[in-house]
Amino acid sequence: MQDGLAFYTGRIMRPDIHAPLRTRSQALQQRAERYFPGGVNSPVRAFRAVGGAPPFIERAEGAWLTDADGNRYIDYFGSWGPMILGHAFPPVVEAIERTARNSASFGASTAAEADLAERIAACYPTLEKMRFVSSGTEATMSAIRLARAATERKIIVKFEGCYHGHADGLLVKAGSGVATFGIPGSAGVPEEIAHLTLALPYNDLAVVEAAFAAHPGAIAAVILEPVVGNAGCIVPAEGYLAGLRALTAREGALLIVDEVMTGFRVALGGATELYRMDPDLVTLGKIVGGGLPVGVFGGKRALMDMLAPLGPVYQAGTLSGNPLAMAAGLATVGYLQEHASAVYSQLEATAKAVAEGVANEARRAGVPLTLNRVGAMWTWFFTQGPVNNYEQAATSNTEAFGCFHRAMLDQGVWLPPSQFEAAFLSTAHGEAEIAATIEAARNAFAA
Ligand code: HOZ
């Protein structure tokens, strides 16, 4: 065993820390396994990468989750991103309640769709026109269809460890659950489709240049997470994003910036604003729906007008622009817009305090750990680092991460249950939560 890494054995070393009882959660998991593969409706919820049974959540308020046994946890995954204002944020709850009284769905247009679009366009000038869909997967899938139609080309460039939802062509060397479970792609994706996706290392412009040289006039689009969240948090190198913009423009390919995770998270205008990007298409999700299922794709007017009913590219959805989702999105985006300066400076301060506080505890305990963070989105990689691409992220000691995760959970701190996911916090996280989290980490690292 290496120095300072005794907790790698899988034990919490402080004898006074015990896992709380989770008997109701365990029973609920057993019942769920009768109906759902792995007992879950999305693989990353199954805790397979960190061990232990996942607690079932009964309710949540602000920064705190309560499980079916009444145990409470400080939430650092925020429903995988959307809950930037904390759980059951009153203006969001009121907006949903008010809207539901007029019926949950019409399958026809409502004023709220343009109300939300107007607010989004004010934060993301690239989105001259947009479409609402019901998930991030739908948004990226539709953006790619549009890019192929606009360029009359077939090949898509993506980056290893980036995850853009579970559409066939985007699962090649993907992040999130695909990286968590160590599978190279997905069974059921025909080779002919996988071959149309080139997965390249992130943060390396030369390989993108080489791909364009190897496939002249054939690459329709480059899609990326501008700050990677789905391989854990990876920060774009200086000049990388601008370099991709210049390369794609030169080669007549489109640049699709997937801001499903970073949108309204790393800044009000997401990474597009933070890194002054000018992409052709942007995808959004998570926060923009305030916790309800929403995705958005949009971009330059001429491109978007290729969509039916104006143009030949087909895309549709029964629940697209759903009134409840629009209401939750409007309440969330409206609040963020109106309080942007206070919200984003608070998020930066609290995220910095907790992310660096835990990293300092690791350093004191002699545990090799690399912290990557952009605003209220970060990852503690259990490796010496640096971590600038998926290959480097994959050097992390995932067993150590699993031990750390269990030790934190048992002390009431719920981290995303995979080394290859980003942690998030909300405006509801305050000094008490930060202090309790750092103390829990100190205990977890105490060998
Ligand atoms: N897109 C989420 C973050 N990686 C994962 C959510 C899920 O797959 O359930």
Shortest-distance Cα residue to atom 4 of ligand 1: 176
Question: Residue 230 domain-assigned?
Answer: yes
CA of 168 to the centre of ligand 1 (A): 16
Specify the ligand 1 atom closest to the Cα of 286.
Answer: 1
Query: What gap in Å lies between CA 300 and CA 64, rounded to an integer?
Result: 40
Query: What CATH code is carried by the domain that includes residue 368?
Result: 3.90.1150.10
CA of 49 to the centre of ligand 1 (A): 14
Residue 201: asked if its preceding bond is cis (omega within 30°), the reply is no
Based on the fold, state whether residues 113 and 257 are members of the same structural domain: yes
Specify the ligand 1 atom closest to the Cα of 230.
Answer: 4
**Residue 11 pLDDT exceeds 50:** no
Shortest-distance Cα residue to atom 6 of ligand 1: 80
314 carries an active-site annotation: no
Q: Facing residues of 423 across strands?
A: 378
Query: What gap in Å lies between CA 353 and CA 143, rounded to an integer?
Result: 37
| pLDDT for residue 175 | 84
Specify the ligand 1 atom closest to the Cα of 229.
Answer: 4
Query: What gap in Å lies between CA 125 and CA 337, rounded to an integer?
Result: 14
Based on the fold, state whether residues 128 and 230 are members of the same structural domain: yes
pLDDT tens by residue, 362-376? 999 999 999 999 999
Residues with Cβ < 8 Å from 116, sequence gap 6 or more?
132, 288, 326, 329, 330, 333
CB atoms within 10 A of CB 136: 30
Site to probe by mutation for ligand 1, drawn from 41, 140, 162, 176 as the one with most ligand atoms within 8 Å of Cβ, is: 176
Decide if 141 contacts 167 (C-beta within 8 A). yes
Dihedral sign from CA coordinates of 218, 223, 226, 228? negative
Tokens encoding 120: 């989004």
| pLDDT for residue 110 | 98
Query: What gap in Å lies between CA 85 and CA 78, rounded to an integer?
Result: 9
Catalytic pick among 286, 335, 344, 410: 286
- Predicted confidence band of residue 173 (pLDDT cuts 50, 70, 90): confident
| Average pLDDT value for residue range 235-244 | 98
Question: Residue 85 domain-assigned?
Answer: no
CA of 300 to the centre of ligand 1 (A): 28
Query: What gap in Å lies between CA 359 and CA 239, rounded to an integer?
Result: 27
Catalytic pick among 163, 202, 275, 335: 163
Which phi and psi (to 5°) does residue 72 adopt? -115, 145
Based on the fold, state whether residues 131 and 17 are members of the same structural domain: no
Kind and range of the H or E run holding 26: helix 23-35
Q: Which of 293, 321, 338 is the last residue of a domain?
A: 338
Question: Residue 357 domain-assigned?
Answer: yes
- Mean pLDDT of all residues in the chain? 94
Shortest-distance Cα residue to atom 2 of ligand 1: 80
Site to probe by mutation for ligand 1, drawn from 36, 41, 42 as the one with most ligand atoms within 8 Å of Cβ, is: 42
pLDDT tens by residue, 256-299? 999 999 999 999 999 999 999 999 999 999 999 999 999 999 99
Question: Residue 286 domain-assigned?
Answer: yes
- Comparing CA positions, the residue from 127, 101, 197 lying closest to residue 157 is 197
Query: What CATH code is carried by the domain that includes residue 317?
Result: 3.40.640.10
Share of the chain above pLDDT 70, in %: 95
| pLDDT for residue 447 | 62
258 carries an active-site annotation: yes
Based on the fold, state whether residues 72 and 98 are members of the same structural domain: no
Query: What gap in Å lies between CA 332 and CA 316, rounded to an integer?
Result: 25
Based on the fold, state whether residues 347 and 435 are members of the same structural domain: yes
Based on the fold, state whether residues 107 and 235 are members of the same structural domain: yes
Query: What gap in Å lies between CA 239 and CA 235, rounded to an integer?
Result: 12
Catalytic pick among 258, 280, 344, 410: 258
pLDDT tens by residue, 253-267? 999 999 999 999 999
Residues having CB within 6 Å of any atom of ligand 1 = 42, 44, 80, 163, 176-177, 230, 421
Based on the fold, state whether residues 353 and 431 are members of the same structural domain: yes
CA of 286 to the centre of ligand 1 (A): 10
The secondary structure of residue 435, as a DSSP letter, is: H
Tokens encoding 425: 């916090």
Based on the fold, state whether residues 355 and 304 are members of the same structural domain: no
Question: Residue 180 domain-assigned?
Answer: yes
Q: Which domain holds residue 435?
A: 5-80+340-445
Based on the fold, state whether residues 273 and 413 are members of the same structural domain: no
Question: Residue 279 domain-assigned?
Answer: yes
Render 35-62 in DSSP notation, one character per residue: HSGGG-SSGGGG-TTT-SPPPPEEEEEB
Site to probe by mutation for ligand 1, drawn from 163, 170, 377 as the one with most ligand atoms within 8 Å of Cβ, is: 163
Query: What gap in Å lies between CA 422 and CA 163, rounded to an integer?
Result: 12
3-class state of residue 257 by DSSP: strand
**Residue 2 pLDDT exceeds 70:** no
- Predicted confidence band of residue 379 (pLDDT cuts 50, 70, 90): very high
Q: Facing residues of 298 across strands?
A: 130, 282
Specify the ligand 1 atom closest to the Cα of 175.
Answer: 4
Q: Which of 308, 338, 368 is the last residue of a domain?
A: 338
129 carries an active-site annotation: no
CA of 42 to the centre of ligand 1 (A): 8
Decide if 321 contacts 298 (C-beta within 8 A). no
Based on the fold, state whether residues 306 and 348 are members of the same structural domain: no
Q: How many CA atoms lie within 13 A of 12 on its CB side?
A: 19
Question: Residue 136 domain-assigned?
Answer: yes
Q: Which of 338, 361, 383 is the last residue of a domain?
A: 338
Specify the ligand 1 atom closest to the Cα of 177.
Answer: 8
Distances (CA, A) of 19 to 24, 31, 71, 118: 14, 22, 10, 48
CA of 44 to the centre of ligand 1 (A): 7
CA of 351 to the centre of ligand 1 (A): 21
Based on the fold, state whether residues 148 and 182 are members of the same structural domain: yes
Based on the fold, state whether residues 127 and 185 are members of the same structural domain: yes
Q: How many CA atoms lie within 13 A of 6 on its CB side?
A: 11
pLDDT tens by residue, 302-330? 999 999 999 999 999 999 999 999 999 99
- Predicted confidence band of residue 361 (pLDDT cuts 50, 70, 90): very high
CA of 99 to the centre of ligand 1 (A): 27
- Predicted confidence band of residue 3 (pLDDT cuts 50, 70, 90): very low
Alpha helix stretches (DSSP H) within 339-421:
340-365, 390-393, 398-410
**Residue 32 pLDDT exceeds 70:** yes
Report how many domains make up the chain: 2
Specify the ligand 1 atom closest to the Cα of 166.
Answer: 8
